[in-house]
Amino acid sequence: MTVVPPVSDRRRVPVPPRRGADPEIVVPLAVVGGAIVVLMWCVRGLVVMPPLTHAARLGAGARLTGITAAYLSAVQVLLVGRLPWIERSVSGQVMRLWHAWGGGAVLLLSVVHAGFAIASQSAGVRRSFAGAGLSMVVDLRFVALAVVGLLLMLAAALTSVRPVRARLGYVRWYLVHVGTYLAVPLAFLHELLGADFTATGARIVWSGLFLAAGGTVFWFRVVVPVRVTRRHQPRVAAVVEEAPDVVSVRIVGRDLEALGALPGQYLRWRVLAPRSWWRARPFSLSAGAGDGLRFTAKVTGALGDELRSLAPGRRIAIEGPYGAFTEQLRTRRRVLLLAGGVGVTPLRALMESLVGYVGPAEAEVTLIYRADREADLIFTAELAELSRRGGAPVHYLLGPRGGSGRPDPLAPEALVELVPRLVDHDVFVCGPPGMVALARASLLAARVPPSQIHTETFAG
């Protein structure tokens, strides 16, 4: 049986809108700007000492691609370092996109760099491509380590392909992926032997960049979570089966409100047990503050067994909060929450928060909950209570997707009929990727401005 958390009768002060520069714009601009500076530095060296032979021109290509790959690898390390300013201002979708594109760029540039370097060596010593490559690995310092680093990056890329990852399993995939942390320092050692780092100042600046990136990861992924966990002492209070393959875990602790977690955000949770302490899983909050935090997740297999077996009192380590899918995105008084499946998790927390607004920022909230069948619905009692307290309509759209003459439940016409003055709403959409894409397309077709559509995807 689901226990309905109390909805506070106290009228809340609205969360202030996000201010300052938007990281979704600033970060890519900064990365591109840094890459341009690095390339200009390399080109300046080539202008001073222009390549005169075919081998030297190939070597110049190796220098340009290699140093750009190295710079982007440092940026990748910074992005996975979980800097609060970025993690709390950029959506999970955008972070995943940055990570995928950045990782692909580093890998491509590294492979091209290796090809240029071997071709330059081959032209210079008049040996075959394979022979030149072998001699570089054997004769040149740190090149063998760089080759190991490149192989680790290739392994991470290969195992990230969805079918391969599914067959490999999470633990093996995770261990391979962690190898990329070793790949960066292995590649870094051979960079210091390059022509662009003969000056002491250049070596100091370049080394400082990588040390700063590594220090950021250590501080925000190790030191800060340890301090937060020691301060708040989070532990399991209860585990509730919400629906088939959907589990809620309620967490209590000391002064959890001081975390500053906003509705719509997520935290990374580690169960402090011998077999799971090393694994951090991101789970969105489905309720917060008050008498504790609660996360809800769609779980199958080993993860489901792990969560269901949690006993009250079990210690939890936490990281965060993270995510930008919050009230701070709101620009309109009218708000539509559009959920698909377990994507209702953060929207339920948002709804609880929004129905408490008063004054000029008072929110008019509507919730649409999309699912294939009634058995897949969760939080129905809680949503009914929130609807009653806040006068917020709740619509359930059940059944298969449209096709064979059937209109889709999320078609533009259906949304316009359910939500009067749809174009005047901020719309928060969360659910599986396919559902989110369809909902966004329908909202755009219904002439909702893109700036008023805020999305997050749940793969589960």
List, for residues 302-334, the tens digit of each pLDDT value: 666 777 778 888 888 888 888 888 888 888 889
* Residue, of 363 and 151, whose pLDDT is higher: 151
The pTM of this model reads 0.80
Residue bearing tokens 């993270």: 322
CA distance 460 to 340: 11
User: How confident is the model over 51-58, as a mean pLDDT?
Assistant: 86
In the prediction, which pLDDT does 109 show?
92
Same domain, 62 and 192: yes
* Domain-located, residue 215: no
In the prediction, which pLDDT does 404 show?
62
Residues 458 and 343: beta-carbon distance below 8 Å: yes
pLDDT in tens, 22-52: 777 888 888 888 888 888 877 877 777 778 8
* Domain-located, residue 4: no
Same domain, 339 and 360: yes
47: its two tokens = 């202008």
* Residue, of 42 and 65, whose pLDDT is higher: 65
CA distance 456 to 343: 8
Torsions phi, psi of 104, nearest 5?
-65, -40
Local structure of 245: helix, strand or coil: coil
Same domain, 140 and 261: no
In the prediction, which pLDDT does 18 show?
53
Residues 347 and 439: beta-carbon distance below 8 Å: no
End-of-domain residue from the set 256, 291, 322: 322
Lowest mean pLDDT among 10-14, 232-236, 240-244, 262-266: 10-14
What is the domain count for the chain?
Answer: 3
pLDDT in tens, 338-390: 998 888 999 999 998 888 755 455 778 999 999 888 888 889 999 998 888 88
Same domain, 360 and 261: no
Same domain, 193 and 269: no
Residues 295 and 250: beta-carbon distance below 8 Å: no
In the prediction, which pLDDT does 324 show?
86
Same domain, 168 and 28: yes
pLDDT in tens, 178-235: 878 888 888 888 877 766 677 777 788 888 888 888 888 899 988 999 999 999 999 9
In the prediction, which pLDDT does 4 show?
41
pLDDT in tens, 2-23: 334 444 443 444 454 555 557 7
CA distance 342 to 284: 10
* Domain extent for 416: 327-457
245: its two tokens = 């393959």
CA distance 202 to 167: 44
Lowest mean pLDDT among 112-126, 267-281, 387-401: 267-281
In the prediction, which pLDDT does 223 show?
92
Same domain, 176 and 35: yes
In the prediction, which pLDDT does 422 show?
92
4: its two tokens = 């309905």
Helices of type H across 309-457: 344-354, 380-390, 412-418, 433-445
In the prediction, which pLDDT does 115 show?
92
In the prediction, which pLDDT does 7 show?
42
* Domain-located, residue 11: no
End-of-domain residue from the set 176, 198, 220: 198
CA distance 221 to 393: 41
- DSSP character at residue 262: P
Same domain, 300 and 366: no
E strand or H helix that includes residue 243: strand 235-243
Same domain, 282 and 389: no
Instruction: Kindly report the CATH number assigned to the domain that includes residue 399.
Output: 3.40.50.80
* Domain-located, residue 275: yes
* Domain-located, residue 1: no
User: How confident is the model over 135-153, as a mean pLDDT?
Assistant: 86
Same domain, 81 and 140: yes
pLDDT in tens, 423-458: 999 999 999 888 899 999 999 999 999 989 999 887
* Domain-located, residue 8: no
End-of-domain residue from the set 322, 345, 372: 322
* Domain-located, residue 18: no
CA distance 300 to 302: 7
Residues 73 and 217: beta-carbon distance below 8 Å: no
Same domain, 193 and 312: no
The amino acid at residue 157 is A
In the prediction, which pLDDT does 353 show?
87
Q: Is 135 exposed, middle or buried (0-12, 13-18, 19+ CB in 10 A)?
A: middle
Q: What's CA 172's distance to the chain center, in Å? A: 20
Instruction: Kindly report the CATH number assigned to the domain that includes residue 259.
Output: 2.40.30.10
**Which of 270, 265, 260 shows the shortest CA–CA distance to 229?**
270
* Domain-located, residue 136: yes
End-to-end distance of the chain based on CA atoms, in angstroms? 23
pLDDT in tens, 406-426: 678 888 998 999 998 999 999
In the prediction, which pLDDT does 5 show?
43
Residues 239 and 248: beta-carbon distance below 8 Å: yes
User: How confident is the model over 251-256, as a mean pLDDT?
Assistant: 88
In the prediction, which pLDDT does 329 show?
87
Same domain, 338 and 318: no
In the prediction, which pLDDT does 405 show?
62
The amino acid at residue 63 is R
